[in-house]
A and B are shown apart, each in its own frame.
Chain A
């Protein structure tokens, strides 16, 4: 983790003028190019599958994906060949189980999400389970030979909830708690008012790209003034940039395995549409409801989640590898409850603009992956304004080598 010294900071040039600031401050990350094989090698991916995804805490979504008491959602974790059902019981306790009926291995819950006030019932032979995974009833139970119902409940998965985010860990032998895994990042958001945010929009994109290609392309703002029209439009002042028009990180730090960076624009220009909304409703978006150090903060929650803030919006990403060459990118946009109609309209507009950005990004991710696959070069190069990518890959390397804190 980077340590900062106030005296040193005061004597240093500003982030706008300081060149190669982040590699000096994070000398342990080095400056070497990254090898391309980490994005395209089957062997590499197999190692990530068995040593990373099978052992790390991973986020499945949040309580905002549930309808409340006696509800559930399901996820297929293709990379681990697992099916999961996450339940919330009548008391609000959240648990995760293998979504597999104990009887013959049938998929238990087939819906993406829903309510189950009575029981979760297998459609094959009608075995029924309570939200805590215990067996509620077995049709024609007398014909079976198990000794106790206690032996045939749903198989639980280690589950912990942090600020409403549901994490699971498939490593039954693992001893790291979620709190330990989140470390300094968890502490930073200890009393964060997540409860004022609701999940307003969800998008899902299946891409032909390695999961790390997709994360890396999102984990920097160097590309924003260049990539494509909506990006360039957004770049009109959304991020800090120097006199040459290049985006700048205002801050970067490693928080254990995770990373955080910020970029604060001093000359943010509202779009004509947003400006019209503000003019019509002077109170709109005026109040910063989330207690952020900077209005734009971007965190990579190792290994495959992003939690980022833009003013009062929180967006999260989850990158789910399908195999070495394919990924599902989940996007969730959260806002505080709308104060008025203009608020509602503006976030509808914001979500659609966000979606257009995603279109451009997706096209980019797939093209980058093709480029890596072509092996035109054995390496890719990272600048200092991409230091967070370097840190992410160091975390992956460390984790695969067994260094996990």
Chain B
């Protein structure tokens, strides 16, 4: 099935957009470094729309718990998303057939992912290491 959903120019790099196509569940389309993809717009973990998430290279982060999916395969790559299931096939297999073929993967270095994971980095200086008497240290 081929459906035109809009001009490519309206989908700049990093953009995510929720679309509806008759007969299918709500979908998310996006542009990951020039690769256009389409997945079911639902995390396989919590009740969240992936279109409200964040694209880091080829990784699509769920807005709720930062589980993530590889947009090229639809496969979940980071918990709490369920790793053995993909986003697209979790509850419907129809959407996965709409995944655009991926271009040759390019290495992705993302600093945004770390920034998003935790705003208040804990301070390890608060942890005191106490000497022990283990034999291999004597």
Contacts and interface: CB of A to CB of B under 8 A. Distances in A.
B59 to A, nearest CB: 14
B45 interface: yes
Contacts of A241: 79, 82
Contacts of B131: 202
Contact of B83 (A67, A236, A344, A355): A236
Contacts of A267: 83-84
Interface in B57-79: 65-67, 78-79
Given A64-B133, A200-B134, A245 B81 contact: yes
B134 to A, nearest CB: 5
Secondary structure at the A interface, as helix, strand, loop or mixed, is mixed
Question: How would you classify the secondary structure of chain B's contact residues: helix, strand, loop or mixed?
Answer: loop
Interface residues of B, number: 31
A243 B85 contact: yes
B117 A245 contact: no
A199 interface: yes
A284 interface: no
A202 B132 contact: yes
Contact of A229 (B83, B118, B129): B118
Nearest to A246: B80
A203 interface: yes
A337 B78 contact: no
A226 B117 contact: no
Contact of A344 (B80, B120, B136): B136
Contacts of A203: 127-130
A243 B79 CA distance: 11
A352 B44 CA distance: 32
B78 A201 contact: no
Interface of A: 64-65, 67, 198-206, 225-226, 228-229, 232, 235-237, 241, 243-246, 267, 332, 337-338, 344, 355-356, 358-360, 362-363
22 contacts: A64-B132, A67-B133, A199-B133, A200-B132, A202-B130, A203-B129, A228-B118, A229-B114, A229-B118, A232-B78, A232-B79, A232-B80, A235-B80, A241-B79, A245-B44, A245-B67, A245-B83, A267-B84, A359-B122, A362-B126, A363-B122, A363-B123
Given A205-B128, A245-B83, A363-B123, 14 more contacts: A64-B132, A203-B127, A203-B129, A206-B126, A225-B65, A225-B80, A226-B80, A229-B114, A232-B117, A241-B79, A244-B44, A267-B84, A332-B132, A359-B124
